Amino acid sequence: EDEEEEEEEEYTRLTPSKRKPRAPSGVRYIKPADEVTEEDLELVATHVSEKRYDSAEGTSCHQCRQKTSDMKTSCRSKECFGVRGQFCGPCLRNRYGEDAKEALKDPAWSCPPCRGICNCSFCRKKNGRGATGILIHIAREHGFPDVNSYLNSFKKN
């Protein structure tokens, strides 16, 4: 029996894990707003065509979930975690009418999920609502600058 346990321990020790190592939970570095440079701001995508996919080094946007090399927002809320506070420039503008560069420079900026206004499919599902899909074109056809404004027009007072 002891020999069996030793073999199992040896197998476990030598077998590579299939999971990628993760940063320890709770560890989160957010660059302070006053340390955001012009070079950082130049890395913010303003149009979808400027985004470059990078599966190895890229960061994910909470809204579109695309892993790209452009600079994302950083939520300054202490309760925020993971990719919740990371939004690419096009998503933040088209879905919420906000400027990612301004968000990066704002020491008090908190992300849409932390403010309870997120309209991504995951957050909407969590709140018992259906996904909206790509609504920016419909919102603009109806005279709204962004999806959040369009969705808010349906709320009952």
Confidence of residue 6 (pLDDT cuts 50, 70, 90): low
Distance CA 106, CA 80 (A): 16
Distance CA 122, CA 141 (A): 25
How far from 17 is each of 14, 26, 124, 137, CA to CA, in Å?
9, 22, 34, 44
Q: Would you say 32 and 107 are in contact if contact means Cβ atoms under 8 Å apart?
A: yes
Distance CA 7, CA 15 (A): 12
pTM of the model: 0.78
Range of 149's domain?
32-154
Number of structural domains (the chain) is: 1
**Any domain includes 24:** no
**Closest of 136, 99, 97, 95 to residue 119, by C-alpha:** 95
**Any domain includes 122:** yes
Confidence of residue 9 (pLDDT cuts 50, 70, 90): low
Burial label for 3, CB within 10 Å (0-12, 13-18, 19+), is exposed
**Any domain includes 72:** yes
**Any domain includes 39:** yes
* 121: phi then psi, degrees, rounded to nearest 5: -65, -40
pLDDT digit string, tens, across residues 37-54? 999 999 999 999 999 999
**Any domain includes 15:** no
